[in-house]
């Protein structure tokens, strides 16, 4: 094993379907994930996130380039990689004729765990995902969020060294999402490496140590959440209703984004006092808040849309 949990070099995927034009889903993705790291792949619908995860988790073959998991090429030796990974696929569903308890336990047994370990891990994962009350109902009778929790519980219970989760918290209520975050953090503290995708940027911010923004099959930007936020040009946003008419007064403070009659300025904290002085002089009220990952994402991907 190496210190690198995942290494992708020039990964390309072109889908070819008869009767349909080819789709270049990945156009050369190069990235690395250190052992024990939690990373999130972000990107618009169709950016290539699921394609990347499917290739990295041995479910799909690349067109070119390579991915190694713990130093083993996934395309050449999928059978050697599989014991080290577990996957929550996008839009996966539990087996409808199994209960969550059976589903989690059966999966662990299929992965070669003993009865005792299987039982103990299944109970802990069901509990962590708040499924105890539903654990003996057939999956077909569960709500959408309960089914998704079952999928996540199944994979968490493996405690695999590398977990892939494609939109794991989709459809979950805010409490369930937080349970997932807590469980993933606990697993990563114990050494598991985690790669997830999500469209919830608060989740990405909360959970991941490193973010990759993928756009049209390539990595656009990578960094910590703080780095991405700083790349927007400041760490505070100041909103002033009615400020659009006074935009010229604020240009020197940072990026100015008018919205209707209001104005948002992305500014560095050092200049906040000065900015507020200008706002008062212009008879404007201002609310100050932190720049969120959402603004950073819109900024990065928005720029690339402009270039299209
Ligand atoms: N089986 C397939 N056959 C042909 N094209 C596909 C197939 N799966 C995905 N694509 C195309 O490949 C591109 C990348 O899709 P992918 O599912 O990787 O995106 P994604 O980033 O996961 O999007 P989302 O956020 O919507 O889940 C898209 O243009 C998609 O239409
Ligand atoms: Mg996807």
DSSP H or E stretch at residue 77: none
Contact 280, 211 (CB under 8 A): no
Question: Do residue 25 and residue 162 come from a single domain?
Answer: yes
Question: Do residue 214 and residue 240 come from a single domain?
Answer: no
Q: What is the largest CA-CA distance in the chain?
A: 72
Which atom of ligand 1 lies closest to the CA of 50?
Answer: 22
What CATH number is associated with residue 255? 3.30.70
What CATH number is associated with residue 69? 3.40.50.300
pLDDT in tens, 247-305: 999 999 988 888 899 999 988 889 999 999 999 999 999 999 988 898 888 878 877 66
Domain range for residue 276? 233-290
Structural domain includes residue 216: yes
Question: Do residue 139 and residue 280 come from a single domain?
Answer: no
The pLDDT score that the predictor gives to residue 306 is 66
Contact 278, 250 (CB under 8 A): yes
Question: Do residue 95 and residue 242 come from a single domain?
Answer: no
Q: How far is the CA of 52 from the centre of ligand 1 (A)?
A: 10
Distance CA 200, CA 244 (A): 29
Domain boundary among 223, 245, 274: 223
The pLDDT score that the predictor gives to residue 160 is 97
Neighbour-count burial of 168, counting CB atoms closer than 10 A to its CB (0-12 exposed, 13-18 middle, 19+ buried): buried
pLDDT in tens, 86-132: 999 998 889 889 999 999 999 999 999 999 999 999 999 999 999 99
Q: How far is the CA of 92 from the centre of ligand 1 (A)?
A: 15
Strand segments (E) across the chain = 4-17, 20-34, 38-42, 64-69, 72-73, 85-88, 162-166, 193-197, 210-215, 218-223, 236-240, 254-259, 262-267, 287-290
Structural domain includes residue 228: no
Question: Do residue 85 and residue 166 come from a single domain?
Answer: yes
The pLDDT score that the predictor gives to residue 295 is 82
- The angle formed by the CA atoms of residues 223, 225 and 229, to the nearest 5 degrees, is 100
Distance CA 40, CA 221 (A): 12
Which distant-in-sequence residues (6+ apart) come within 8 Å of 97 by Cβ? Answer: 138, 139, 140
Structural domain includes residue 303: no
Structural domain includes residue 193: yes
Q: How many structural domains are present in the chain?
A: 2
Structural domain includes residue 301: no
pLDDT in tens, 25-76: 999 999 999 999 999 999 999 999 999 999 999 999 999 999 999 999 999 9
Alpha helix (H) ranges present in 46-114?
49-56, 78-81, 100-110
Nearest CA to ligand 1 atom 19: 46
Structural domain includes residue 298: no
Tokens of 203: 């989740």
Question: Do residue 102 and residue 250 come from a single domain?
Answer: no
pLDDT in tens, 252-266: 998 888 889 999 998
Question: Do residue 105 and residue 20 come from a single domain?
Answer: yes
Question: Do residue 187 and residue 256 come from a single domain?
Answer: no
Does the pLDDT value for residue 1 go beyond 60? Answer: no
Question: Do residue 215 and residue 242 come from a single domain?
Answer: no
The pLDDT score that the predictor gives to residue 302 is 73
Question: Do residue 217 and residue 270 come from a single domain?
Answer: no
Contact 128, 183 (CB under 8 A): yes
Distances (CA, A) of 196 to 88, 90, 263: 9, 10, 34
Structural domain includes residue 129: yes
Question: Do residue 271 and residue 158 come from a single domain?
Answer: no
Q: For the stretch 217-252, what's the b/e string if a residue is b when 16 or more beta carbons lie within 10 angstroms of its beta carbon?
A: bbbbbbeebeebbeebbbebbbbbeebbebeebbee
Nearest CA to ligand 1 atom 28: 46
The pLDDT score that the predictor gives to residue 294 is 86
pTM: 0.90
Domain boundary among 223, 257, 274: 223
User: What percent of the chain lies above the pLDDT cut of 90?
Assistant: 83
| Ligand 1 binding residues, C-beta < 6 A | 15, 17, 23, 25, 43, 45-51, 90
Question: Do residue 88 and residue 147 come from a single domain?
Answer: yes
Q: How far is the CA of 197 from the centre of ligand 2 (A)?
A: 8
The pLDDT score that the predictor gives to residue 308 is 66
The pLDDT score that the predictor gives to residue 232 is 77
Structural domain includes residue 302: no
């Amino acid at each position: 094993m190496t210190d690198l949990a995942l290494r992708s070099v020039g990964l390309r995927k072109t889908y070819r379907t008869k009767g349909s034009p080819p789709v270049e889903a990945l156009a050369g993705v190069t990235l690395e994930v250190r052992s024990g790291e939690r990373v999130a792949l972000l990107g618009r619908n169709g950016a290539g996130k699921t394609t990347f995860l499917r290739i990295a988790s041995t479910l799909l073959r690349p067109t070119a380039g390579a991915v190694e998991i713990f130093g083993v090429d996934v395309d050449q030796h999928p059978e050697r990689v599989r014991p080290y990974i577990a996957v929550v696929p996008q839009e996966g569903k539990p087996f409808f004729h199994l209960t969550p308890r059976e589903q989690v336990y059966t999966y662990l047994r299929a992965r070669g765990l003993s009865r005792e370990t299987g039982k103990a891990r299944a109970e802990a994962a069901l509990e962590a995902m708040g499924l105890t009350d539903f654990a003996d109902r057939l999956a077909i009778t569960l709500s959408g969020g309960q089914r998704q929790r079952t999928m996540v519980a199944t994979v968490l219970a493996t405690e695999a060294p590398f977990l892939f989760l494609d939109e794991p918290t989709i459809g979950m209520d805010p409490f369930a999402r937080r349970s997932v975050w807590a469980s993933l953090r606990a697993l990563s503290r114990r050494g598991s490496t985690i790669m997830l995708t999500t469209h919830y940027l608060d989740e990405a911010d909360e959970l991941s140590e490193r973010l990759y923004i993928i756009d049209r099959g390539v990595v656009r930007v990578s960094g910590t959440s703080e780095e991405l936020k700083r790349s927007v040009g400041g760490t505070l946003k100041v909103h002033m209703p009615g400020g659009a008419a006074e935009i010229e007064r604020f240009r020197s403070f940072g990026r100015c984004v008018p919205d209707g009659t209001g104005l948002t300025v992305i500014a560095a904290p050092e200049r906040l006092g000065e900015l507020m002085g200008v706002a008062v002089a212009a008879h404007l009220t201002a609310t100050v808040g932190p720049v969120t990952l959402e603004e950073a994402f819109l900024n990065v991907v928005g720029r690339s849309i402009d270039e299209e």
